[in-house]
Amino acid sequence: MTTDWISLPLVALPLVSSIAILAFVAYASPAARERMGPSIRMATLVFSLLMLALTTAMFFGIEYIEGTLDWASLSFGSFNYEFRYVWIESLGIHWSVGMDALSFPMVWLTTFLLPVTIVATWNEKNAAVYFPLVLMMGGALIGVFVALDLFMFYVFWELTLIPMFFLILKWGGYDRKYASQKFFIYT
């Protein structure tokens, strides 16, 4: 049985779930948003732990397939869990994701730091918006690390900028509006 498709939910799970949560929150009243905060905190923590478990299972899946238990089974230039789908054929744009020895540690580190970030900022104000933005940022970063097509890399890179802008604007420190404007202009 092929497991090439497994990198797809690793990218799609955080992006789709964060967009769904944000869309749901957008139509809620401010009082309802406050009531939803604890549930959204827990949901984002569960999604991030699922991503960490999936990434860890992917690593041990590589080790099981290769028969060794070291990083030597991951090599530079050959991709594990590679998934390709022709998206816009006339422009040569493919949905192409995969991991090699360079991207896999970055993906695992991202999925490890997501639950750590969520737990460290557990009592953050306006949780109904904050935590989905953090989850979206994590999903976009994973997309940056697994993209094998230049167009998809660009799309995921730009997608990281959207939650970062709002995180800086709303939850940044002193002079956050100025910092978010500079961030928008320079990136």
Cβ contact 97:8 at 8 Å: yes
> 18-36 pLDDT, tens per residue?
999 999 888 888 888 888 8
Closest Cα partner for 165 from 150, 144, 182? 182
Residue 187: half-sphere exposure toward Cβ, Cα within 13 Å: 16
Q: Which of 163, 148, 153, 160 is nearest to 78 (CA)?
A: 148
What are the pLDDT digits (tens) for 118-132?
A: 999 999 888 899 999
Q: Looking at the domain assignment, is residue 47 inside a domain?
A: yes
Instruction: Name the domain count of the chain.
Output: 1
Q: What is the pTM of this model?
A: 0.84
Residue 32 lies in a domain: yes
**In this predicted model, what pLDDT tens digit does every residue of 43-70 receive, in sequence order?**
999 999 999 998 888 877 655 444 444 4
Q: In the structure, what pLDDT confidence band is assigned to residue 172 with cuts at 50, 70 and 90? A: confident
Q: How far is residue 119's CA from residue 117's CA, in Å, rounded to a whole number?
A: 6
111 found inside a domain:
yes
Residues facing residue 94 across a β-bridge: 86
Residue 71 has pLDDT above 60, yes or no: no
The answer to whether position 24 is within a domain reads yes
User: Does residue 169 fall inside a structural domain?
Assistant: no
- Report pLDDT digits (tens) over 89-108: 888 888 888 888 788 889 99
Domain of 13 in residue numbering reads as 4-161
Contacts of 107 (CB under 8 A, 6+ apart): 10, 55, 99, 142, 145, 146
**Binning pLDDT at 50, 70 and 90, where does residue 173 land?**
confident
